Structures are given as C-alpha cells and as structure tokens.
Amino acid sequence: MCGIVGYVGGAECVPILIDGLKRLEYRGYDSAGLAIHDGQKIDVVRAVGKLRELERALEQRPLSGQTGIGHTRWATHGSPTEVNAHPHVAGDVAVIHNGIIENHLALRAELEAGGRSFASDTDTEIIAHLVDEELRRDADLEQAVRGALRRVQGAYAIAVTSVREPARLVVAKSASPLVIGLGEGENFCGSDIPALLPYTRRMIVLEDGQMAVLERDGVRLSTLDGASVEPQVRSIDWSPVMAEKEGYKHFMLKEIFEQPRAIEDTLRGRLDREHGDIAGVEFGLTQADAAAIERVVLLACGTSHHAAMIGRYYIEELAGLGASVELASEFRGRDPVVGSGDLVVAISQSGETLDTLMAARLAKGKGARVLAIANVMGSAIPRMADGELYTRAGPEIGVASTKCFTTQVAALLMLAAYIGRRRQVLSPERLGALVEEMARLPHLMRDVLQGTRQLVANLARRYLTARDVLFLGRGLSFPIALEGALKLKEISYVHAEGYAAGEMKHGPIALIDSEVPVLVVVPDDSCRERSMSNLQEAKARGGRIIAVSTEGDDEVGRLADDRIEVPAADPLLSPLLTILPLQLYAYYVADLKGTDVDQPRNLAKTVTVE
Ligand code: G6P
C-alpha cells in the first residue's frame, strides 16, 4: 500500500513523478505529495485526497527541478491529513515510505527526548529525523540512510533526498516492493513496474536488505551492511499501452474485456495440443517431485483466495491429491501442520501481499515446497518460492481484480493437470480433451462477454436499488458466488453475500424476500440438480432469481426471472465463463451508482500490511 516514485536526471521531473503516481494511485489514494530538489533547496507540496488535489495544489504552488520524489498514501499511522501526507521532511532530508516502522514509538520518544519535534503522527517521519541526525554527524546521504535503517524495524520501501546532495536519491527496501528503472542520463524508482514503463523497460528489482544510490549517470547497489551488489537488470516485456484505458470508461471495464487475451497469453506455449499435455512450464516440479507430493495447500487473500478455492477442486479431481485452501492471514495465526511432502501454492496477483508472503515463508521454513502463482514479475513471493508460474495478465490497474482472477484459475487448472498426468492419475485421453477445451477458452470468453454485456447492464439498472444481493453456487460455482458478491461489495458498496447453495437453508434464506435479487450460478455440471432445488427454495420465498446457466437449459429458463447464458463447455471450465457476467454486473451497478469504480473507498490493490 502507498505508492512511491522517484526521479533523478536532466528532465523537469514534476510531470514524470505525477505520471508515475497516477499509475500507482491504485495502491492508495488518501493523500499525495512531491518533494523536488531545485538545485538549492527542497520544496514540498502535499494535498489530501486523490492526485487531482495534488495537481490543483501544484497549480497554486508550481514546483520545478530535476531530482524529486512522489508519494500516494494509504493511511496506516495517522489519519489522512496534509501533515500526515508524504514526503516527510526533517532538517535537510525529505523521505517517502511504503510500509510500517514497527518500533516507531520507541524511536520517536528517543528522538523527542533529544530535542527533535515532530510535525506528523506518522511512523515515516522517524526515518527523516534519523537520516538527518546521521547527516549532522558528517555522513553522506548513503551512509546516513544506512545508519538510520540500522535502527529501524519493520517493512519499508523508501526514497530519500537531501538538500546537501542535489542530484542523488538513496532508496532502500525491506519487505515492501521497490523497482529501479534505468534510463539514459536519468534513473527512476517506483513501487512497481507499470509506474516506470513509459520511461524504460530496463529494471532492477531490489531485494530485501538492499539499498541503492541513484544518480543521473548510474545506479549503485549495496546491502544495508555496505557490501556492494551486482545488479541483475531485467528487460520487461509489458508495454506502456497495457497500463492505459484505451477508450474504456474505467480500467476495470477494460480489464474485464481483456480477459480472453489475458487467458490466451497465460496459456500460450504451455498447452501442447499435439501431444495433449501441459508443456513448456515445469512449475519447478520434476516427474519425481510430482509423484512425491502428499498434499497440496493453497494460500492466498481476497480474490486470489477464491481462485485458490477453485484450485482445490482441480487438484482433487485431476491430481487425486488432498488439498486445503487457507486464508494466508489465518494460516499465519496458527501453528499450521505443514512440512515436507506438502506442495504449498501461494497465489497472489501482486506477488507482494504481506500475509501471503509471510504464510509462504512460514510453510517453507517448516520444510514445504513453495510454488508461487503471481502476475508481477520479480515480485517478492515468486522470488522466495522454489518454483513459479507467472500469469500473463499484464498490469492490472483496477483495484477490484478481474483478469488476474481468471488467469490464476487457468494457471491452477494447468498445474492440477500437470501434476495429475505426472502422477498418472489423469489419463492421457482426459488430459488431451481438457487441453483442447482450454484452447477454446479465449473464444468462449469472448462470446460470453459480447453476448451478455447488454443484458447484464439492463439487469444492473433494474435491480439498482436492491440493498442486499445474494449469490449462490455449488461445487466450482461456490467460489464464483463468493467472488461475484465480493466484486459487488468492493466497488458498488451494496451488501452482498456469497453462499454455498446447499448452505442457504442454514441461514441466509432468512434474507430472501421480493426485494432481494438472488444470483444463482447453475451451469450444467454434476451439482446442477441440487442447485436447482436451492433455486426453487429461493424462488418459493419470493426471491427475484437471476440464473447464470448453460445455454439451452430450459428448465432454468422456466424457473428464473432472468437468465444469463454461457456456452456449453467442459464443466471444469465453467468458473472461467460464469464469473464474467458477475464481474459485469458489479461493474454496471457501480457505474450507475457513480462510485469510483477503479479506486473504491478504503481499499488498496497491493496490501503490504498485516
Ligand atoms: C487486495 C486487492 C484484491 C486482491 C487482494 C490480494 O485486497 O484489493 O483485489 O485480491 O488484495 O492481492 P494479491 O495481490 O495477493 O492477489
């Protein structure tokens, strides 16, 4: 949470920093600020609210310079006010920070006792004071940051500038993400890759415990202890256009419609249609490794957790292995029984979610093999894992995840099929047929999106005033019901419950009356008959039934008030089709209500706090 960006070079840096912050705004949008070195002094402008407020403030107080740092905040310590907005300044130093300094209270007391006074309630201001103290002992900025960080415990990605060193930034990281972009006569830093994409594709992903000095003509990496580090420069193949809206009203809508392409890219080179197998991707697992797996544990948060729930069905059905799904935050709250013999699959769009990262580390520490499924290349979770599989969704900007969810599900399907085949649980014939079905997915998804868009928009309008919405599903459709409800809650602020259809009679049935739309996900699979009974139960209580079902299912058509159809396909693929109208439903409700679809209140896309 929080986005940071920095620039040092020969250009006017304010527009570059603002542009970078726009791309990072999904990480937090409570307040924003810039600190710009004009060669003589550092000027700071900050504003409460979204970036446009900062832009307005800059119209009143323009800044100019060729070295600068910028920040967009998701408040943790201290309410979202201007004094708590970053950058924080102490003496000659300005700092931006993403993360949490755990020992800030003790450090603050100590610094105050030494005569320092604080302007904000933040943990970050501590860092500015500590660096300034070191500078006053005649350290240069690099030494000063190193000295300050020795005293600090917690998670941080920071960028620091000093009045004394006009053309230099010092950055450092522990737990929170930080990327360095390499330009010609200019260098950049940012919280993630898309922030820097318009300027360079050559990036260094900083590791925990590393820091770097950025100057116009070079970047020097070292550990916090001062040992120099040889940088590993990556060439990023995402294009800057992928982080633009391309004519769509919102990123979320664009990302919903990008899903056929995202799935195509995620499957590309990984489906061997000639031999009917999963190929070109090993997941860090040899045949012997696959055979030795005794159990699979899937770890994730939020939407990725719903993908993990679908993954469990796939692993059980295709790989014949026991599988459990864990909310990463809860897994960490126990002393979980996990160890060698377990394959732990950590699923995370950002690859940075702190709970997922820590849970995966816990499992690894207990001897489990960790496989990461992530979207952001070089992010923390794949870096710590024994094997990784990248979804190739491209940058996801909308805070509510859509294309990353479906690509995660596709990745899990490939993983389960891969393991199943190597354990000889899954027959070559079944796998061959599945591979053919998967190859059809982009085409089927396009059909669903085009075919249901208008109908779903109409339904959203019709049920716009509903205060509660119920989503029901069984089997593979249960996580889809949860995800449909989460999408609606996240972006439209309508109360929604996702429930296992069979559990409805144990509680949520009490919510149903003629005012409550009930979205029943009932594709043609082995759960259909039982879901139909639940649909009837909801209807008998006066619920307005919107069914998401397989094309030509006339029985559903007769019972439901409204029907959204998806094409017939292998039942294992159904979640990838039925989720699409539910994403659209949430989108249209939110858009009609006029909420901030891409940046819903209180949320942030990458959650690096516990
Ligand atoms: C946040 C986002 C969700 C996301 C979750 C997990 O809450 O708003 O969209 O599903 O984090 O994120 P991850 O990056 O680990 O998938």
State which H helix or E strand residue 434 sits in: helix 428-462
Closest approach atom of ligand 1 to CA 399: 8
Give the whole-number percent of the chain exceeding pLDDT 70.
98
State residue 75's pLDDT score: 76
Same domain? 375 vs 522:
no
Asked if residue 567 has pLDDT above 70, the reply is yes
pTM of the model: 0.77
Ligand 1 center to 236 CA (angstroms): 22
At 420, list the tokens. 């199943």
Residue 256 lies in a domain: no
Band (507; pLDDT cuts 50, 70, 90): confident
Beta carbon of 28 within 6 Å of any ligand 1 atom: no
State the residue for tokens 């590309």: 268
Give the bridge partners for 160, in sequence order.
95, 170
Residue 225 lies in a domain: yes
State residue 309's pLDDT score: 98
d(CA 220, CA 350): 26
d(CA 151, CA 159): 17
SS3 sequence of 3-69: EEEEEECCCCHHHHHHHHHHHHHHHCCCEEEEEEECCCCEEEEEEECCHHHHHHHHHHCCCCCCEEE
Q: In 63-177, where do the E strands start and end?
A: 67-73, 88-90, 93-101, 154-162, 165-174
The stretches of 343-402 forming alpha helices (DSSP H) are 354-365, 380-384
State residue 240's pLDDT score: 66
Same domain? 142 vs 168:
yes
Asked if residue 603 has pLDDT above 80, the reply is no
Same domain? 353 vs 488:
no
Average pLDDT over residues 193-221: 94
Beta carbon of 329 within 6 Å of any ligand 1 atom: no
Per-residue CA distances from 97 to 70, 94, 152, 378, 442 (Å): 10, 10, 13, 20, 40
Same domain? 30 vs 169:
yes
Asked if residue 388 has pLDDT above 80, the reply is yes
Residue 601 lies in a domain: no
d(CA 134, CA 144): 5
Same domain? 358 vs 384:
yes
Average pLDDT over residues 477-497: 95
Measure the CA angle with vertex 222, ends 219 and 224; round to 5°.
135
Same domain? 475 vs 395:
no
d(CA 341, CA 388): 18
Q: Of 173-177, 389-393, 568-572, 601-605, which gets the smallest average pLDDT?
A: 601-605
Average pLDDT over residues 548-573: 95
pLDDT tens digits, residue range 140-174? 999 999 999 999 998 899 999 999 999 999 999 99
Average pLDDT over residues 197-210: 93
d(CA 351, CA 516): 37
Residue 263 lies in a domain: no
DSSP secondary structure letter of residue 103: T
d(CA 573, CA 437): 8
Beta carbon of 304 within 6 Å of any ligand 1 atom: yes
Average pLDDT over residues 554-580: 95
Burial level of 248, CB count in 10 A (0-12/13-18/19+)?
middle
State the residue for tokens 């013999």: 341
Per-residue CA distances from 215 to 66, 68, 139, 594 (Å): 11, 12, 18, 44
Beta carbon of 599 within 6 Å of any ligand 1 atom: no
Closest approach atom of ligand 1 to CA 353: 15
Range of the domain at 279: 270-439
Ligand 1 center to 302 CA (angstroms): 5
Same domain? 141 vs 60:
yes
At 366, list the tokens. 């207990």
Closest residue (by CA) to atom 2 of ligand 1? 605
pLDDT tens digits, residue range 451-471? 999 999 999 999 999 989 999
Per-residue CA distances from 1 to 12, 30, 352 (Å): 27, 11, 10
Asked if residue 609 has pLDDT above 70, the reply is no
User: Which residues are CB-contacts of 89 (< 8 A; sequence separation ≥ 6)?
Assistant: 35, 42, 44, 95, 119, 128
State residue 79's pLDDT score: 79
Cβ pair 170, 204 in contact under 8 A: no
Asked if residue 242 has pLDDT above 70, the reply is no
Asked if residue 246 has pLDDT above 80, the reply is no
Same domain? 106 vs 237:
yes
CATH code: domain of residue 203 = 3.60.20.10
Q: Is 109 helix (H, G, I), strand (E, B) or coil?
A: helix
d(CA 374, CA 192): 14
Asked if residue 282 has pLDDT above 80, the reply is no
Q: Of 166-175, 204-213, 276-285, 531-540, which gets the smallest average pLDDT?
A: 276-285
Same domain? 315 vs 455:
no
State the residue for tokens 């609210």: 49
CATH code: domain of residue 276 = 3.40.50.10490
| Domain final residue, candidates 439, 460, 487 | 439
d(CA 356, CA 278): 27
State residue 77's pLDDT score: 73
d(CA 482, CA 265): 26
Residue 191 lies in a domain: yes
Q: Of 1-5, 55-59, 482-486, 544-548, which gets the smallest average pLDDT?
A: 1-5
Asked if residue 592 has pLDDT above 80, the reply is yes
| Domain final residue, candidates 404, 421, 439 | 439
Ligand 1 center to 543 CA (angstroms): 31
Average pLDDT over residues 475-496: 95
State residue 542's pLDDT score: 85
Give the whole-number percent of the chain exceeding pLDDT 90.
77
pLDDT tens digits, residue range 74-117? 777 777 899 999 999 999 999 999 988 889 999 999 999 999 99
pLDDT higher for 244 or 339?
Answer: 339
State residue 1's pLDDT score: 65
User: What does the mean pLDDT of the chain come to?
Assistant: 93
Selection from 380, 416, 392 nearest residue 298 by Cα: 416
Pocket test for ligand 1, best of 176, 193, 301, 596 (most atoms within 8 A of CB): 301
Closest residue (by CA) to atom 4 of ligand 1? 302
Helix, strand, coil tally for the chain in percent (to 5): 40, 25, 35
Q: Is 555 helix (H, G, I), strand (E, B) or coil?
A: helix
d(CA 595, CA 30): 16
Residue 607 lies in a domain: no
Ligand 1 center to 13 CA (angstroms): 31
SS3 sequence of 543-579: CEEEEEEECCCHHHHHHCCEEEEECCCCHHHHHHHHH
Same domain? 159 vs 308:
no
Work out how many domains the chain is built from and give that number.
Answer: 3
Residue 249 lies in a domain: no
Cβ pair 573, 579 in contact under 8 A: no
State residue 201's pLDDT score: 93
DSSP secondary structure letter of residue 175: B
d(CA 182, CA 196): 9
Provide the annotated active-site residues: 2, 605
Query: How do beta strands 544-550 and 202-205 pair?
Result: unpaired
Residue 262 lies in a domain: no
Asked if residue 241 has pLDDT above 70, the reply is no
State residue 379's pLDDT score: 82
Closest residue (by CA) to atom 8 of ligand 1? 605
pLDDT higher for 306 or 375?
Answer: 306
Asked if residue 19 has pLDDT above 80, the reply is yes
Closest residue (by CA) to atom 1 of ligand 1? 605
Same domain? 432 vs 451:
no
Band (376; pLDDT cuts 50, 70, 90): confident
Same domain? 451 vs 435:
no
Closest approach atom of ligand 1 to CA 302: 10
| Domain final residue, candidates 405, 424, 439 | 439
pLDDT tens digits, residue range 306-335? 999 999 999 999 999 999 999 999 998 899
Alpha-carbon torsion (558, 564, 566, 572), positive or negative: negative
State residue 571's pLDDT score: 97
At 5, list the tokens. 């960006």
Closest residue (by CA) to atom 15 of ligand 1? 348
